[in-house]
Structure 1
Amino acid sequence: MTFTLTPNNVYALTGPSGSGKSTLLSILAGWTEPTGGTVRRDSVRSIAWVFQNPHGVAGRTAEDHVALPLLARGMLHADARREARQRLARVGLAAVASAPFHQLSGGEAQRLMLARGMAAAPDLLLVDEPTAQLDTTSSDAVNQALSTLADDGTIIVVATHDARTRDACTSAIDLAAH
């Protein structure tokens, strides 16, 4: 199988359980060596991963979670806070910016992780099953958030079983077909 991933696209990585979606994410991240073939990461200097189960610091606010990678990139505190709020608004979380992580719903926490992942300004963002444990309303909100992230110059790859998540992406790579 040969494919090229380009910036400003969100790729759905689909296929049945056991088809290698998570393994391919791990290979793309550079954590696992492929058993055959090659992977070239041209112009990919930084990689972020949003895992299936969102984890955060219970008492820290949503804004804190998104501001952290901005601060780590050297942004001034006030600027990081302002950008964090903008990123939260972009994924539909403006109303919960000051809410502590433990008060967020599953869908809110997953969208928060997407905003935090993008705040790290990665060249490649890997997202593993972002809607796997969510109800339809929360899944739809996550899918909408995914579709808003494609224009930041980042390559986004989303492993998913969810047809709605696949449809929210700009392209699909079906591992069952290969």
Structure 2
Amino acid sequence: MLVTLTDVGHRFDGRPFLFEHLTVRLDPGRVYALTGPSGSGKSTLLGMLAGWIAPSAGSIDRTDVDSIGWIFQNPHGVPRRTALDHVALPFIARGESRFTADTEAQQLLLRFGLKHAMDRQFRALSGGEGQRLMLARGIAAAPDLLLVDEPTAQLDVHTASTVSDALANIATAGTIIVVATHDARTRDACTDIIDLGAIS
């Protein structure tokens, strides 16, 4: 699978282009940091990658991309469900037994530094723990394309650093991951950088 952007640009009616002439190939197993100043079109480009917004110029081709996941700025979960429940659910939805789902979920929670919070209800998690849980659940869902929108925007510096550290562990062979961010530490945790500020 892959996503190819060819000479892509976007603007809203009557406004200058946010960015233009963006040509890039997105491959599975990579984590792309989508950077640029406020107003450069990071969230807009995520919407375009998801197919929600049509580019004003150029084309976006999704080859063998059948499922798309999205992780928002603010983590959303079921208040009384445990962290383990949240990550096990995608495995159960794919037909895994509860035992297998829990085992897989435990491995992901460990990978994202959440072993200590495994049996904690979502409502009892800190902001950083909640956002790392969303990353773990996003990987558990195994989408072809995973879009992450400003994962540290609502967090203090220390908490944001724990999420950025977790992003260093997010790369997975079967998923293309794009992370919109203004945070240098988050950017540096990714494998590749797409700087909209450099092409706007």
Q: Secondary structure at the match of 2:128?
A: helix
- Distance in 1 (CA, whole Å) between partners of 2:192 and 2:119 is 34
1:147, CA displacement in angstroms?
1.0
1:36, CA displacement in angstroms?
1.5
Matched ranges for 1:70-81 at <5 A: 70-81=91-102
**Which ranges in structure 1 are unaligned for 5 or more consecutive residues?**
none
- Distance in 1 (CA, whole Å) between partners of 2:125 and 2:197 is 35
1:14 aligned to which of 24, 35, 40: 35
Q: Secondary structure at the match of 1:3?
A: strand
2:65 aligned to which of 44, 66, 69: 44
Partner of 1:5: 26
1:150 aligned to which of 147, 155, 171: 171
- Distance in 1 (CA, whole Å) between partners of 2:43 and 2:193 is 15
Matched ranges for 1:104-115 at <5 A: 104-115=125-136
Q: For each residue in 1:38-71, what CA deviation from the matched residue of structure 2 results, as whole angstroms up to 9, or x when unmatched?
A: 1011121211000000011110000111111111
Structure 1 stretches of 4+ moved >2 Å:
none
- Distance in 1 (CA, whole Å) between partners of 2:61 and 2:104 is 32
Matched ranges for 1:92-131 at <5 A: 92-131=113-152
Q: For each residue in 1:2-57, what CA deviation from the matched residue of structure 2 results, as whole angstroms up to 9, or x when unmatched?
A: 00011111110011111111010011011111122110111212110000000111
Q: For each residue in 1:85-133, what CA deviation from the matched residue of structure 2 results, as whole angstroms up to 9, or x when unmatched?
A: 1111100001101000010000000000000011001111100000111
Q: Percent identity?
A: 64
Amino acid at match of 1:147: A
1:88 aligned to which of 100, 104, 109: 109
Amino acid at match of 1:145: A
- Structure having the larger proportion of residues in strand: 2
More contact order relative to length (CA 8 Å, sep ≥ 6): 1
**Which ranges in structure 2 are unaligned for 5 or more consecutive residues?**
1-21
Indicate whether 1:170 and 2:191 are aligned.
yes
- Structure having the larger proportion of residues in helix: 1
Partner of 2:76: 55
Question: How high is the TM-score relative to the length of structure 1?
Answer: 0.97
Question: How high is the TM-score relative to the length of structure 2?
Answer: 0.86
- Distance in 2 (CA, whole Å) between partners of 1:146 and 1:41 is 24
1:152, CA displacement in angstroms?
3.2
Cα RMSD of the aligned pairs, angstroms, is 1.0
- Distance in 2 (CA, whole Å) between partners of 1:151 and 1:69 is 16
- Distance in 2 (CA, whole Å) between partners of 1:97 and 1:90 is 12
- Distance in 2 (CA, whole Å) between partners of 1:151 and 1:56 is 23
Amino acid at match of 2:176: I
- Distance in 2 (CA, whole Å) between partners of 1:27 and 1:76 is 36
